[in-house]
Amino acid sequence: MTDFIHLEGVHKTFGDGPRAVHAVEDVTLSIDRGEIFGVIGYSGAGKSTLVRLINGLEPVTTGRLVVDGAEVSTMGEKQLRGVRAEIGMVFQQFNLFPSKTVAENVAYPLRVAGWDKERRAARVTELLEFVGLADKANARPPQLSGGQKQRVGIARALARDPKILLADEATSALDPETTRDVLGLLRRVNAELGVTIVVITHEMDVVKYLCNRVAVMELGRVVELGSVYDVFSNPQQDATRRFVGTSLRDRPSPESLRRLAATHPGTLVTVGIQEETGSSTRLMRTLAEHRVDGAIVYGGITEIGERPFGSLTLALTGEPAAIDGALADLRTHTTVHEYPELAGAVPGSPATGSAPPSEGQEQR
């Protein structure tokens, strides 16, 4: 694997003066040949701008951008056209011609590139077979489902055999089942055709299913970057934590927390579950060693790239000193979140192990 797409201190500013919009600020990252790289962020984070820089649709304001050995940041329009030919784009709204047939839509970039009719037809057949739409060649987009439209979009993006595919919210308009389907196709594009894929999304599940590495963007900046497992199993930034929370019920909301505290005696804590050091087996063993009981009241465990990942909220009961000891022990190998805001707020649920049992708790 080599640095295939490289950005170094890249800025993109729209306008100038006090009204300037800093859409991308000081972004440095490298994407390897053959990987599926995710860029996740909320609306306005700068994801689409980043994609438009990579495919040369927008010039970089300052910084260095290299794509497949070519210094895009210093290129003129004519050279940029050459770069764009090597990059396929897939869009949220598919961007198909509604009055053209599926075959004509897929053939369009080949027509523009001057391919003759016979060669075009052979390539279109090949592409429609690859995306599983050989029987829809003569249908028109309005007759297709959302998932089928996106398959056409992917076939069209692959027409000129690009080295890179940029997927900008490619599944955001689709239902969960169709999303899985399209993501499965993107995986095949990567594995079978060796295409490097950059996925722009605001959906954690897309990154979790598809990507090797991820950059989390907020206000134009990359705030976290690393393997999907590392970034999401140990989030450092609030934005990342919020994404983790959308995929997995990470921590209870304040309302749930109050309800849980009212219905479960004991000390509420949320413990991170990760591979090995933070496994649920180790969690239960630690509690047993300290003679602390832990009722699981919230959370769950899922997988990222076949590795376990999640969080469990437990109501711990036992001697206050034993609970403190268990939490200290757990903290040496995983994350432990306590809820000091519950102290005294809800009868029957001291927030920390060392708080004295309240009246409510004694009644249970």
Chain contacts with ligand ATP (rule: CB under 6 A): 14, 21, 23, 41, 43-49
User: Which residue, 53 or 292, has its beta carbon nearer to ligand ATP?
Assistant: 53
User: Which residue, 48 or 73, has its beta carbon nearer to ligand ATP?
Assistant: 48
User: Which residue, 168 or 250, has its beta carbon nearer to ligand ATP?
Assistant: 168
Q: How far is the CB of 29 from ligand ATP (least distance, A)?
A: 15
Of 267, 239, 272, give the one whose Cα is nearest residue 339.
267
Name residues whose C-beta falls within 8 Å of residue 80's C-beta, 6 or more positions apart in sequence: 56, 72
User: Which residue, 13 or 280, has its beta carbon nearer to ligand ATP?
Assistant: 13
Q: How far is the CB of 14 from ligand ATP (least distance, A)?
A: 3
User: Which residue, 188 or 221, has its beta carbon nearer to ligand ATP?
Assistant: 221
Q: How far is the CB of 229 from ligand ATP (least distance, A)?
A: 23
Q: How far is the CB of 49 from ligand ATP (least distance, A)?
A: 3
Q: How far is the CB of 21 from ligand ATP (least distance, A)?
A: 4
User: Which residue, 40 or 260, has its beta carbon nearer to ligand ATP?
Assistant: 40
User: Which residue, 51 or 103, has its beta carbon nearer to ligand ATP?
Assistant: 51
Q: What angle do CA 179, 185, 191 make, to 5 degrees?
A: 135
Of 280, 237, 266, 257, give the one whose Cα is nearest residue 357.
266
Q: How far is the CB of 175 from ligand ATP (least distance, A)?
A: 19
Place of tokens 């069209």: 156
User: Which residue, 19 or 78, has its beta carbon nearer to ligand ATP?
Assistant: 19
User: Which residue, 14 or 97, has its beta carbon nearer to ligand ATP?
Assistant: 14
Q: In what order do the strands lie in the sheet with 21-32?
A: 21-32, 3-14, 62-67, 70-71
3-state secondary structure the chain: CCEEEEEEEEEEEECCHHHCEEEEEEEEEEEECCCEEEEEECCCCCHHHHHHHHCCCCCCCEEEEEECCEEHHHCCHHHHHHHHHCEEEEECCCCCCCCCCHHHHHHHHHHHCCCCHHHHHHHHHHHHHHCCCHHHCCCCHHHCCHHHHHHHHHHHHHCCCCCEEEEECCCCCCCHHHHHHHHHHHHHHHHHHCCEEEEEECCHHHHHHHCCEEEEEECCEEEEEEEHHHHHHCCCCHHHHHHHHHHCCCCCCHHHHHHHHHHCCCEEEEEEEECHHHCHHHHHHHHHHCCCEEEEEEEEEEEECCEEEEEEEEEEECCHHHHHHHHHHHHCCCCEEECHHHCCCCCCCCCCCCCCCCHHHHHC
Q: How far is the CB of 172 from ligand ATP (least distance, A)?
A: 9
Q: How far is the CB of 322 from ligand ATP (least distance, A)?
A: 48
User: Which residue, 47 or 208, has its beta carbon nearer to ligand ATP?
Assistant: 47
Q: How far is the CB of 331 from ligand ATP (least distance, A)?
A: 35
Whole-number Å distance between alpha carbons of 314 and 270: 6
Q: How far is the CB of 80 from ligand ATP (least distance, A)?
A: 17
